[in-house]
Amino acid sequence: MVFSHRHLGFLLVLALLAQFPAAGQQNDAAYELWRVRSQSLTDDLIKDAADLKSMRRAVLLARLAQRWWADDRRRSAGWLKNAVEIVEQVPNKENPEEREERLRTARQILKVVAQLEPKLARRVINVLTPDDKSVGNERLENANALIYAANSLFRDDPRRAAELGALALRLGPPDDFSSLLFYLRSREPKLADDLLIQALTLAKQNPTGRWLNSLTYVAFPTSRGLTQGVPGPSEPLRIEVLQLLIAYINANPFNDQNKDTVCATLAFSVAPLLGEFERLLPQQTPVARQAINQCQSVAPLVQQQFDSTLQSESLNSVEALLKAAAEAKDVRVQTVYEFRAATMARNAKDYERALKILDRMGKAEREFMDDMWEFLRWDWTAEGALNYFYKGSLLEMNLLLNGVPSDLRPFAKIAFLTRMNEPKDFEPAPVVQTFTDAITELRRSSVADSDKHNWYFTLLKPALKYQPADANAVLKAAVSSLNQNKDRKTLDTAEFSEGIAESLLQMDEYIVKDSLASITLVETRAQLRLALLKESLDRMKLH
């Protein structure tokens, strides 16, 4: 048979197509790859669940159901039901520690089940309903769990969210009540007002600082420093909030025992609203001003907040704040003035000055700041180094990074590496050197090896980018650190695994699988597998 040029061209196209699968086939193959990988992770997680005690197993099953809910509703519903049944079972002669663990587990599960299955959510809420055994802190924790669940529902079911908010109010003033009111007001203003009225009724019976802080945010969002445009309630309801503040002032005269607590409440909840008092409740403004003046004389530490809230014109510069610090007789007052001066310098991008202010703080000042001093020392250094890097000032960048105290130096360099956006004319050599230095300095740091795992995991991303040959060693060091940390025994801290999965999925699958299997604490191992499962399922859905 003789082929024309046209026939030969057609056969050549067929041969080429045979070498490259169609887009649909490629998508099917990729989908199957991620499905198999997701199922493998799930099998490992089921084995992990079998090794956990019942309450911890319930949390893991709920998280597993959350991951698979959109793709395998039948299996997910079974896992979720199993988790709920575990917290519903009350042991005979349950002791206080067992009860605390069961209720804590129910709160964690409610965060998941409220978004997925309303009927099961009602069963968990019944577990959290107070009874004669309930105590103050237990009621507050249950209220916070209900508010968290309500905040997750306001878009899809605002009425149900309001019902959960009302139930939370009966247990105690929850921490994040103001967020729920803002969410509801953006969709159902009438529901928001009804819930605020319930809160005011309860707050009048016991006007605590916690209530006042939430209610003033809700009633006067702009005055409390929130973004312009956040909606507020009607003026009659705002006036009720101001009257509640006056009731608190009248019910809490100063004494040596309560002055710090009362003055802190006035600094945060009353001082920012003096303008609103003059506008809406002018006859009570003198009462509010007198209370603030008393606080300024009897609680010097709280004076700092009044300075900020009332926007003292005499303390509007770094120099003025440092002068006030030098004149302060109380070391705590001195520290806060210096912190404010350093923050002002940092906000003006004068990083050298900000860091000098931190460095000259003495032992007592650093102890008063607790861990905040160390955090700011390396965090602001990373910001300043990035500022120099983008300007091309590499000498100044390195001087700043290497000027950090030795134990904090690797943290500054790791933060620098992970926050960096590469410019168009990027030259990798200085960054590679910074990565190499960060690894070496982290190993040598006197920080306990058991506390270094988060930093090693954070280094995975720049390792894969700049020194991929080092990635396996970084992962090995992270796992070794984890295995020395005997305190991490729960799945409660989800932020531990944030951002890790993306890096792990770029590495050899079998190396990662073996590394995770070598983690000795079951919950830590499961937490990382859950993070990987979420990322794997997300990639499966893309195909």
Task: Tell me what the mean pLDDT of segment 299-315 comes to.
Answer: 58
Taking only the tens place, the pLDDT of each residue in 476-494 is: 999 999 898 776 555 554 4
- Band (pLDDT 50/70/90 cuts) for residue 292 is confident
- Band (pLDDT 50/70/90 cuts) for residue 313 is low
For 39-95, give the DSSP string.
Answer: HHHHHHHHHHHHTS-HHHHHHHHHHHHHHHTTT-HHHHHHHHHHHHHHHHPPPTT--
Taking only the tens place, the pLDDT of each residue in 362-386 is: 999 999 998 999 999 999 999 999 9
pTM for the predicted model, two decimal places: 0.82
pLDDT of residue 271: 86
Taking only the tens place, the pLDDT of each residue in 261-271 is: 888 888 888 88
Instruction: Give yes or no for residue 12 having a pLDDT over 70.
Output: no
| H/E stretch holding 328 | none
SS3 437: helix
Rounded to whole angstroms, the Cα distance separating 292 from 334 reads: 21
- Evaluate whether 176 touches 210 at the Cβ level (below 8 Å): no
Question: What's the residue count for the chain?
Answer: 543
Residue located via tokens 């700043």? 400
Question: What's the mean per-residue pLDDT of the chain?
Answer: 86
Closest CA to 182 of 140, 154, 149: 154
Rounded to whole angstroms, the Cα distance separating 137 from 154 reads: 26
Taking only the tens place, the pLDDT of each residue in 178-232 is: 889 988 988 899 999 999 999 999 888 888 888 888 899 889 988 777 766 667 8
